[in-house]
Structure 1
Amino acid sequence: MSENTGPQGTPRPVERTDGKKVPLPADASPQKASHVRIARRKFAGTPSQIRGSLTFYKYCAWISGTFLLLLVAEMISRYVFGHDLIAGGRDAATGATVPVGWLNLETGNLVGGLNLSTWVLIIHGWFYVVYLVACFRVWFLMRWPFPQFIVMALGGVVPFLSFIVERRIHRETLSQLRENPTSAKRY
């Protein structure tokens, strides 16, 4: 007799109808299992609140992920090649205006202007805070376990992860909303 069969070789149910695995007593039979009450998932908000926070999270994930990729390119440019991207600077030797150019950090070939490399750092840093708020909002409304929040938060610091996690979170959230239409909190 295997662990998935009961007495007389009858198959013993191992999953609830909503797909969650639960332990069943040894004497469980398909007839008894059909009378088991299924606990529905509870959310901390209405479906419209969850969908709204999910949309905000989606945009934040894409913006944060894009700025993270720009940040990686900026770090490679600065620490591997020794250059920063400058807008509106002047050539140090001739004094000619350079609309957009590379500042050699060793020679200082450009003076003045706006250091776009530094602004990528600043924008990504501040937007990561907004991204964390968006992650927290979805995580809180869906009542997921804490490790889920950690994975979502890592999307803003690991290149390309925000795009992957966002897609999975979006699909999982909509799936859970469809499976549990009456589980949302009503005001």
Structure 2
Amino acid sequence: MPPTVAAPKRRFGGTPAQILSALKFYKVLAYATGSMLLLLCLELVLRYGFQSVLMAGGTNSVTGASHGLGFVSIDGGVMAVAGGVNLSTLVLIVHGWMYVIYLIADFRLWSLMRWSFGKLVLIALGGVVPFLSFIVEGRIHKEVLGEVAANPKAGKRY
């Protein structure tokens, strides 16, 4: 009979409470970043497909009338509305900063779970590939809960 080899002990980089906290932070950021990425895709279709941007406020340069909320054509890179807030550009900026925070959440969870570097890359791709953050988040959530439940003493570091 061959000798039985015990499975290696699973060790986490933190306690189960820290891991579940990181998982919750990651989940919130995954959904927020995924939603902003979908808005970003819509904005890019409007900008490059229909040559228009979403503007709030401002004044029409030609007629002098005030502009409320709506789409503005960008013919040759020039908008007919001066002033106001370009909501299309705001979506770009918010998604960019949200992705940075999403990467921090990814790194925190990855380091606490002590996963391979490839898994960090896969999780990070969730913020740049449309719909992927929702799919990856669901799988990661199940995996983390399963590993924490299967290894209750793995988080005891001292």
TM-score (norm 1): 0.79
The alpha carbon displacement at 1:102 in A equals 1.0
* 1:159-187 deviation line (CA, Å, top 9, x unaligned): 00011101110110000000000011335
- In structure 1, what is the equivalent of residue 94 of structure 2? 123
Write out the 4+ residue segments of structure 1 that deviate beyond 6 Å after TM superposition.
none
Counterpart selection for 2:122 from 151, 158, 175:
151
Q: Determine which structure has greater relative contact order: mean sequence separation of CA pairs < 8 Å that are 6+ residues apart, divided by chain length.
A: 2
1:79 aligns with 2:79: no
1:170 aligns with 2:156: no
CA distance in 1 between partners of 2:132 and 2:50 (Å): 26
- In structure 1, what is the equivalent of residue 59 of structure 2? 90
CA distance in 1 between partners of 2:156 and 2:110 (Å): 15
Size of the alignment, in residue pairs?
Answer: 156
The alpha carbon displacement at 1:92 in A equals 2.9
TM-score (norm 2): 0.93
- 1:2-17, aligned counterparts within 5 Å? none
The alpha carbon displacement at 1:127 in A equals 1.0
CA distance in 2 between partners of 1:49 and 1:119 (Å): 33
- The structure carrying a bigger helix percent of its residues is 2
- In structure 2, what is the equivalent of residue 66 of structure 1? 35
- In structure 2, what is the equivalent of residue 8 of structure 1? none
Identity %, equivalent residues: 51
Q: Structure 1 unaligned runs (5+)?
A: 1-26
- In structure 2, what is the equivalent of residue 180 of structure 1? 151
CA distance in 1 between partners of 2:156 and 2:116 (Å): 18
CA RMSD of aligned residues (A): 1.4
CA distance in 2 between partners of 1:73 and 1:185 (Å): 46
Which structure's CA Rg is the greater one?
1
